[in-house]
Amino acid sequence: MKRVLSLFFIAALGVLLLYVVASMPPMGDPQTPTATHVIPRYLERAEEETHTENVITGVILNYRGYDTMGEVTVIFCALAAVLAVLGRERRGRIRGFVDRSPVPSSTIVRTMVRFMVPFIILFSVYTILHGEISPGGGFQGGAIIGGSMIIFTTVFGLYESSRRIPQKVRAPLEGSAVIVFFLVGALGLVGGGNFLTYAWPHAARGLQPALVTWLTVLVEVGIGLGGAMVLISILFAMIREEEEIALTA
């Protein structure tokens, strides 16, 4: 009964949504309202205003800096909540559920992962540092670092990977995205502008572009490091096992 009722509801919703879609302007048309009002200004002035060739990075870090700062805080809060629910792994003897897998990973897999992980991390560093001139940036690079450590953990186990990135390195870096963002924003105030303005009015005119570029790169590095550490910490918190759970799981 419930299933039929919800199916009926969803079908009605689908018809309604499709009706709306049928009256929307055609996709890809340059004359639609979404493409004509604010966008040309962003696209034409972004390069000189934010000194980033990648307009998306300019929008994320410069035009909508507040947005991104709140979003970085959301990620940090998610990590805090996960740690509050599941707890951090202990420093001493730690095990994950992959450690007692009945099938150990083969030599080929171990060798290849050991070989690949440094290159993946190198690629993510490139992604973070070139975020303002090519596709990429802090979030992307951080997710790639997190992915590389996930591969490492699933093959070598929690003990090995938490030796590579120990807890006392991770814990201070988890908040780096929020801290760097806030510090750079406050630097804008010191320089005589508003919060989160990268361009300082009192700085010399010739200094301006280099300043904006370097501050942007700094924020990108902060977001990348912080995002990667948050992802790794969430994974470790979820993968770790306690003695009393090992019996039932």
Partner 1 sequence: METALNLTFIVLLVATALMAVWARDLLAAVIIFSVYSLIMALMWQRLQAPDLALTEAAVGAGVTTVLFVVTVFKTRRREEEE
Partner 2 sequence: MRLLHNYHYAAAMALFCIGLYTVIVRRNIIKKLIGLNIMETSVFFFYISLGYLDGGVAPIHAGSADPARMVNPIPQALILTGIVVALSVTALALSMVILLYRQYGTLDVDRLMREEEPAAEGAAGEGEGGA
Question: Applying CB under 8 A, which of residues 28, 92, 102, 206 lies at the interface with partner 2?
Answer: 28
CB count in 10 Å sphere of residue 123: 15
Nearest in space to 105 (alpha carbons), one of 157, 53, 33, 54: 157
Complex with partner 1: residue 187 or 225, whichever CB lies closer: 225
Q: Which does 179 bind (CB under 5 to 8 A by kind): partner 1, partner 2, none?
A: none
Q: Is 88 in the site for partner 2 (CB under 8 A)?
A: no
Could you tell me how many residues of this chain bind partner 1 (CB under 8 A)? 23
φ and ψ at residue 163, rounded to 5 degrees: -75, -35
Q: Which does 136 bind (CB under 5 to 8 A by kind): partner 2, partner 1, none?
A: partner 1
Torsion angle (degrees, nearest 10) of CA 44, 46, 52, 54:
-60
CA 106 to chain centre: 32
Measured CA to CA, the distance from residue 230 to residue 249 in angstroms comes to 26
Nearest in space to 140 (alpha carbons), one of 218, 231, 79, 205: 231
Measured CA to CA, the distance from residue 212 to residue 199 in angstroms comes to 6
- Token code pair at residue 4: 């039929």
Measured CA to CA, the distance from residue 110 to residue 123 in angstroms comes to 20
Measured CA to CA, the distance from residue 107 to residue 51 in angstroms comes to 48
Near partner 1 in 74-103, by CB under 8 A: 97
User: Could you tell me which stretch among 4-12, 99-107, 147-155, 194-202 binds partner 2 (CB under 8 A)?
Assistant: 4-12
Measured CA to CA, the distance from residue 149 to residue 160 in angstroms comes to 11
Question: Applying CB under 8 A, which of residues 104, 118, 135, 201 lies at the interface with partner 2?
Answer: 135
Question: Applying CB under 8 A, which of residues 107, 121, 139, 186 lies at the interface with partner 2?
Answer: 139
Q: Is 127 in the site for partner 1 (CB under 8 A)?
A: yes
Residues making contact with partner 2 (CB under 8 A): 2-3, 6-7, 9-10, 13-14, 17-18, 21-24, 26-30, 34-35, 38-40, 42-44, 46-47, 53-56, 59-60, 64, 67-68, 71, 74-75, 77-79, 81-82, 85-86, 133-135, 137, 139, 143, 227, 230-231, 234, 237-238, 245, 248
Residues making contact with partner 1 (CB under 8 A): 54, 56-57, 97, 127, 135-137, 139-140, 143-144, 146-147, 150, 154, 231, 234-235, 238-239, 245, 249
